[in-house]
Chain A
Amino acid sequence: MMGGIDIIVLIATLMAASTPVLLAATGELVAEKSGVLNLGVEGMMIMGAVGGFAVATATGSPVLGFAAGAVAGALLALLFAVLTQIFLSNQVATGLALTLFGLGLSALIGKGYEGVRPPPTAKLEFGPLADIPVLGPILFSHDWVVYASLVLVALTWAVLKYTRAGLILRAVGESHDAAHALGYRVVAVRFAALAYGGALAGMGGAYLSLVRVPQWTEGMTAGAGWIALAIVVFASWRAERVLIGAYLFGGITALQLQLQAAGYAIPVHLLSMAPYVITIIVLVILSAAHRHGVAAAPAALGRSFHASN
């Protein structure tokens, strides 16, 4: 306890609370690393939320639900890929349209699922481990998706950093023309990166509808996709920092609510601004530091690629 705040509970809470945005941000990171800015995260998340919910209730299996959420998110991402990579439409505008489309389509699909309860996602049993003081509640008190999301972050980090696939992805994101000249298939790489991003966003959405709430309601992502976008920036496109970013954003919300619960009168809105202001400061520090070196953002981010350019 510190000033009436239970730090252990705070950490355990924010780990579960941050899972949807952590997943979505990790996916978006990979997409942005390939040089594509997809602002449709919110739309992909909510498609995952409804797709995962529908399949989980139909089959009784949360695991299948998460798989379906991933597929739903990826499908929407592929629509974005077709438009931006083949039809060369503007990424910012297409991403915004994707969010609109996803919110609408999910609501149409979700009619009839309101008020239904999904099959429960059980917490993993760690036996005596869960009783270890401090570490027990923090590390051994979650459902499998929380651990899976952490594994996915680690995998994403390792693949980006150490594998040839990661190298190609980064090359495409830094300079698609150079990558193309080297014989890499820029459009194919970006399709894959976008699909992966959509799948993770979809899983994040499914975590909301299957675990966090758990119910389906229209618009239930309530802006989580936009937070995921902010986290990627905060993380300066590094997978390991996405984890910090997700916990910071999730943590500030959890902290301000816990401070209130402990009886402190705090300026909620000013505190809620803090993570965004911090993100801007981080951006400034990074760009100042990289002024003459490697920039933090993928150089080709947001630019269209056409082979004959």
Chain B
Amino acid sequence: MITLIKRPTPSKGWSYATPVVAVLATMVAGGLLFAALGKNPVEAIRVIFWDPLFGANAAYFRSQLLVKAAPLILIASGLAVGFRAGIWNIGAEGQYIIGAICGAAVALSVYPAESAWLFPAMVIAGALGGLLWGMIPALLKTLFGTSEILVSLMLVYVAQNLLAYVAFGPLKNPQGYGFPGSRNLQQYPSAHNPELIAGTGAHWGVMAAIVAVIALYILMHRHIAGFRIRVAGEAPRAARFAGVVPARLVVFCLGLSGALAGLAGLFEVSGPSGQITDSFNAGYGFTAIIVAFLGRLHPLGILLAGLLMALTYIGGDMAQLILQLPAAAIQVFQGMLLFFLLGFDVLTNYRIRIGGARA
């Protein structure tokens, strides 16, 4: 009989060791999978984890790592605050979409304006859009006690339909030969969110992600508000005595995570993606939830988890290309990585005791 004994305090050592153990376990399990598919497992692992970072053309792939990781990190940073407080926003995907729509709508409504103020206005619109979309579950929770998990999830589908509606309707490119999708903001200089330093992949969204990680660290670990948020999550009753107003906390957490998700959407639509289309959202909002947990809701952890997720996407594409592994095998591999990372985390908070003792 194996029993788990809760540690009085989380183990520092294991909290660093588990991700490494999990990645190693994934390499073994993934290697078996790739071998079963008739590929050289060592080569496959090298292509996924090593080549994008240090292989040929690594400069390009490292820049893409930032492009892919930035929205994940930006969104996950916001989500982590709420998750710490026990407020579960799982609708970041919807807030991401609405942020993108609002930002793009501002730009497209004044097309072809040439103004240095346009991009800042879009940033504000994007953040506001995500914030307002996040306010819906927040207000329903504070007014009626409605579960924010479910409302925020339902609003993802509403947002997706809105996205399709605007892509086929109001925001459709009038010069697009009847095809759905907006004008490309990459060809609209005032609205474009370009690479700031060519070849690095760093656009404003990457900057925002870095700022978000630092701000998250200051808020959660250096500020009294962060202490209150954590208390609210771990001991809600105690938090009330400490002066935490639950309603304000809900509004703050959902508003913050919504605004950051909206920003991520705005930076994506004005930068790497360029266009509002009905398939614009690529699941960043959902993947960011995984990133937040993989990162143990800690700023540094989120940064690393976001980069790791991005690496599996880019490395996975490489494996498809070089080894002709099916895309499905990469998905299975990513799934395994997540399972191991999530599962092994138990060692941080619990000791394993082998023997019959019942706790």
The answer to A–B direct touch (Cβ < 8 A) is yes
**Chain A contact residues, CB within 8 Å of chain B:** 37, 39, 79, 83, 87-90, 92-94, 96-98, 100-108, 111, 218, 226, 229-230, 233, 267, 269-270, 272-273, 276-277, 279-280, 283-284, 287-288, 290-291, 295, 297, 302, 306-309
Q: Are A83's CB and B343's CB within 8 A?
A: yes
Known: A92-B90, A273-B161, A291-B145. A107 touches B4 (CB 8 A): no
Is B88 close to A, CB under 8 A? yes
Tell me which residues across on chain B come within 8 A of A92, comparing CB atoms: 88, 90, 149, 289, 293
Known: A97-B342, A101-B339, A302-B88. A287 touches B147 (CB 8 A): yes
Q: Are A280's CB and B90's CB within 8 A?
A: no
Chain B 143-156 interface 0/1 with A at a Cβ cutoff of 8 Å (1 = within): 01111011101110
Tell me which residues across on chain A come within 8 A of B88, comparing CB atoms: 92, 302
List 7 A-B pairs, Cβ < 8 Å: A37-B149, A98-B335, A103-B331, A107-B331, A108-B37, A276-B154, A288-B144
Taking the closest CB of chain B, its distance from the CB of A102, in whole angstroms, is 8
CB-CB nearest in chain B for A233 = B150
A267–B168 Cα distance when bound, in Å, is: 11
Q: Which one, A88, A93, A270, A309, contacts B338 given CB within 8 A?
A: A93
Which residues, 22 to 67 on B, are CB-close (under 8 Å) to A?
A: 37
CB-CB nearest in chain B for A43 = B335
Q: Are B158's CB and A276's CB within 8 A?
A: yes
- The dominant DSSP class at the B interface is helix
Q: Are B290's CB and A104's CB within 8 A?
A: no
Q: Are B326's CB and A108's CB within 8 A?
A: yes
Tell me which residues across on chain B come within 8 A of A229, comparing CB atoms: 153
Q: Which one, A79, A90, A279, contacts B154 given CB within 8 A?
A: A279
A229–B286 Cα distance when bound, in Å, is: 15
Q: Which one, B168, B342, B350, contacts A90 given CB within 8 A?
A: B342
Q: Are B329's CB and A96's CB within 8 A?
A: no
Tell me which residues across on chain A come within 8 A of B227, comparing CB atoms: none
Tell me which residues across on chain B come within 8 A of A230, comparing CB atoms: 153-154, 157
Q: Are A276's CB and B144's CB within 8 A?
A: no
Chain B 310-352 interface 0/1 with A at a Cβ cutoff of 8 Å (1 = within): 0000000000000000111111111110110011111001100
Q: Which one, B147, B293, B329, contacts A283 given CB within 8 A?
A: B147
Tell me which residues across on chain A come within 8 A of B289, comparing CB atoms: 92-93, 96
Taking the closest CB of chain A, its distance from the CB of B200, in whole angstroms, is 29
Is B218 close to A, CB under 8 A? no
Taking the closest CB of chain B, its distance from the CB of A192, in whole angstroms, is 20
Given contacts A93-B290, A270-B165, A283-B150, list 6 more A-B pairs with CB under 8 A.
Answer: A83-B342, A88-B350, A89-B343, A96-B289, A104-B329, A284-B146
Known: A111-B326, A280-B155, A284-B140. A302 touches B149 (CB 8 A): yes
Q: Are A280's CB and B332's CB within 8 A?
A: no
**Chain B contact residues, CB within 8 Å of chain A:** 4-6, 37, 88, 90, 140, 144-147, 149-151, 153-155, 157-158, 161-162, 164-165, 168, 286-287, 289-290, 292-294, 326-336, 338-339, 342-346, 349-350, 359
Q: Are A90's CB and B293's CB within 8 A?
A: yes
Q: Are A105's CB and B157's CB within 8 A?
A: no
Q: Are A87's CB and B157's CB within 8 A?
A: no
Tell me which residues across on chain A come within 8 A of B144, comparing CB atoms: 284, 287-288, 291
Known: A89-B345, A273-B157, A287-B146. A104 touches B330 (CB 8 A): yes
CB-CB nearest in chain A for B6 = A308
CB-CB nearest in chain A for B36 = A108
CB-CB nearest in chain B for A308 = B359
Known: A89-B343, A89-B346. A101 touches B332 (CB 8 A): yes
Q: Are B165's CB and A269's CB within 8 A?
A: yes
Tell me which residues across on chain B come within 8 A of A218, comparing CB atoms: 328
Q: Which one, B147, B165, B338, contacts A97 given CB within 8 A?
A: B338
Taking the closest CB of chain B, its distance from the CB of A55, in whole angstroms, is 20
Taking the closest CB of chain B, its distance from the CB of A213, in whole angstroms, is 19
A102–B154 Cα distance when bound, in Å, is: 22
Tell me which residues across on chain B come within 8 A of A87, comparing CB atoms: 342-346
A56–B194 Cα distance when bound, in Å, is: 53
Tell me which residues across on chain A come within 8 A of B154, comparing CB atoms: 230, 233, 276-277, 279-280, 283
A166–B350 Cα distance when bound, in Å, is: 31
Tell me which residues across on chain A come within 8 A of B326, comparing CB atoms: 107-108, 111
Q: Which one, A98, A106, A270, contacts B161 given CB within 8 A?
A: A270
CB-CB nearest in chain A for B328 = A107
Q: Are B342's CB and A269's CB within 8 A?
A: no
Tell me which residues across on chain B come within 8 A of A101, comparing CB atoms: 331-332, 334-336, 338-339
Q: Which one, B4, B157, B161, contacts A226 given CB within 8 A?
A: B157
A161–B149 Cα distance when bound, in Å, is: 26
Taking the closest CB of chain A, its distance from the CB of B150, in whole angstroms, is 5
Known: A229-B153, A233-B154, A267-B165. A83 touches B329 (CB 8 A): no
Which of A87, A94, A277 is most buried by chain B, counting CB atoms within 10 A of its CB? A87
Q: Are B335's CB and A94's CB within 8 A?
A: no
Q: Are B161's CB and A108's CB within 8 A?
A: no
